[in-house]
Structure 1
Amino acid sequence: MRKTLKHVVITGAGSGLGASLARKYNKEGCHVSLLGRDHEKLEETAASFENSNYSIFTLDISSAEEVEKVFEKIVQEVQPIDRLINNAGVGYFERAEDLTASQIDEMIDINLKGTIFCTQAVLVSMKEADVGSIINVISTAGIEGKVTESGYCASKFGVRGFTESLVKELEETNIHINAVYMGGMDTPFWGEPEQENKNNGLMHPDDIADIIYENTKTRSNMNISDIIIKNH
């Protein structure tokens, strides 16, 4: 049975920005579907919600087959997807010559291919309905190269190219595409030492979630395609 609430699907919702976004959309009255590989972390995010309008689905977005099956299940058990937020990501920060093959594979598989697979899973239905929203959380690593981030930047530059192409492919539709390029955030992504350092200069994910929410609202005759948020 279709619910009356807007349905927002968020990947990587078990911690960091994904969890902050999930809390924001839940607070604003949406039904939020939390996606991630760790069911326990997704439960922890849901435990912080103000209401019970949520669903949890474990998913490895690097598997095209698993993405297809889980997204079909999401629509069947909840309702059609109004907004997809591709937030899940992983990074390994070494000099280019020190990156291992498995590290490179994981960054490309999750950051780039995972974003493509999840987007493909919603595009057909969104195009048929001529409505919907896709937000790709990319990072400033998608607009400039950085020391010890060559592999990470490569994956994020790929997401940027994919997103910019989506904008062109869908410019005659009512589907909104947004790219978010943000600097470092105070999340587990950077490890405990950085989080424990109160002068780390990292932004709070709740602030980023607020900015994303406000700047990606569906507005008539307007779409903010690129959102760039940098540290001081």
Structure 2
Amino acid sequence: MVKKIAVITGAGSGLGASLAKKYAEDGYHVCLLGRTEDKLVRTAKSLPNKAHSIFSVDVSSKREVSDVFTNIKENLGSVDVLVNNAGVGMFDAAENLSEEAVHQMIDINLKGTIFCTQEVLTDMKAKNTGSIVNVVSTAGLEGKKTESVYCASKFGMRGFHESLVVELQETDIHVFGAYMGGMKTEFWDGIFDVSQTAGLMDPDDIADIIYHNAVERKNLNVEQVVIKNH
């Protein structure tokens, strides 16, 4: 059994990869979860040590999520930190969004967060320790043009996050929500051109802010942080 385990969903690129580096640098065994194994391998190669594992998973599948977390628990140990970072976005006028796009955003952004969190709560409650980091985005705070269903999924994630904070307020489990604006990542490939992404935030900066605010501290809990572009 390894000492500390951090599970990060959507770890194949962008903020997930940046957060993986942060936790690896702090000595965690990092479990990289995502749909594309090649991207997870790329992230793994960038980490400062060999203490990592790769799991290909569709977080919108309750069965796949359950299988992966069972594997982690049996072979590594119980999860100390869960970062719910996996997310997808398709942007268009509300009436133009396809049925597949609607399902993907609700299933991955919202259901994926719920399914992964369900897998760690029993053990965290039993130990009365642990940290759950929900990467929500500012789309969970306000409606945005061409982002109706994306915002709906993130508003749902926000509701789940805020309810978790209340459910766990009598425990020492730390629940932290990050509401950040656009970052310069692969998320915008095919949506924004280079000139539009030039002014977006650096995922390494966001990862630094999230990591330091999510650290467990005695008698203190940071419930959420809002991070916006200039």
Pair in the same fold by TM > 0.5: yes
Q: How many residues in Structure 1 have an aligned counterpart in Structure 2?
A: 230
What's the offset of the Cα at 1:25?
1.1
Cα 1:208–1:136 change in 2 (3 A) is same
Contact 2:184 2:197 in 1 (8 A): no
What's the offset of the Cα at 1:66?
1.1
Q: Which residue of 2 aligns with 1:84?
A: 82
Q: Which residue of 2 aligns with 1:27?
A: 25
SS at match of 1:197: helix
SS at match of 2:225: strand
Cα 1:128–1:147 change in 2 (3 A) is same
TM-score, normalised on structure 2?
0.97
2:36 pairs with 1:46: no
Percent sequence identity is 58
Contact 1:187 1:195 in 2 (8 A): no
Q: Which residue of 1 aligns with 2:103?
A: 105
Q: Which residue of 1 aligns with 2:63?
A: 65
Unmatched tracts of structure 1, length 5 or more:
none
Q: Which residue of 2 aligns with 1:161?
A: 159
Separation in structure 2 between the aligned mates of residue 28 and residue 14 of structure 1, nearest angstrom: 19
2:184 pairs with 1:173: no
What's the offset of the Cα at 1:102?
0.8
Amino acid across the alignment from 2:175: I
2:1 pairs with 1:7: no
Contact 1:186 1:195 in 2 (8 A): no
SS at match of 1:135: strand
Question: Which among 209, 221, 224 is matched to residue 223 of structure 1?
Answer: 221
What's the offset of the Cα at 1:194?
3.7
SS at match of 1:158: helix
Contact 1:12 1:89 in 2 (8 A): yes
Taking only aligned residues, the RMSD between alpha carbons, in angstroms, comes to 1.2
Contact 1:10 1:34 in 2 (8 A): yes
Correspondence list, 1:122-133, <5 A: 122-133=120-131
